[in-house]
């Protein structure tokens, strides 16, 4: 299992969510730590090393290395704000 590394932006987003949604996303993150290339995850178009996974109405943008799972962004699924934030982060 990979060690999970949450970005500040992701951590802040999770803290604002209701407990039920936060728990669902946390469960998905732990599943991705076990298998980052899950069948429901896909490579993020325009970014070679970033993947996206959907959980309910939320989208997780992440990447991984041999040891770590980097949770870069978490946001609303049908909201382009996730991708705007990713661009601003310079990734």
Query: What integer pLDDT is reported at residue 91 of this predicted model?
Result: 61
Looking at per-residue pLDDT, the higher value among 10 and 80 belongs to 10
- Exposed/middle/buried for residue 16 (C-beta within 10 Å: 0-12, 13-18, 19+): exposed
CA distance 59 to 53: 6
Q: What is the pLDDT of residue 44?
A: 86
Number of Cβ within a 10 Å radius of residue 34 = 10
Mean pLDDT of 84-91: 76
21-32 pLDDT, tens digit per residue, is: 999 999 999 999
Average of per-residue pLDDT across 5-24: 94
pLDDT at 79 (0 to 100): 67
Please state which CATH number belongs to domain 3-88.
3.30.2310.20
Per-residue confidence (pLDDT) for residue 28, from 0 to 100? 94
pLDDT digits (tens, 9 = 90+) for 30-77: 999 999 988 888 998 888 889 999 998 999 999 999 999 999 989 887
Write down the domain spans for the chain: 3-88
């Amino acid at each position: 299992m990979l060690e999970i590394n949450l970005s500040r932006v992701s951590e802040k987003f999770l803290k604002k969510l209701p407990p039920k949604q936060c728990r669902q996303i946390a469960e998905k993150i732990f599943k991705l730590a076990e298998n980052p290339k899950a069948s429901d995850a896909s490579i993020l178009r325009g970014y070679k090393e970033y993947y996206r996974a959907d959980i309910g109405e939320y989208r997780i943008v992440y990447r991984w290395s041999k040891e770590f799972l980097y949770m870069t962004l978490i946001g609303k699924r049908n909201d382009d704000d996730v991708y705007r934030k990713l661009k601003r982060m310079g990734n």
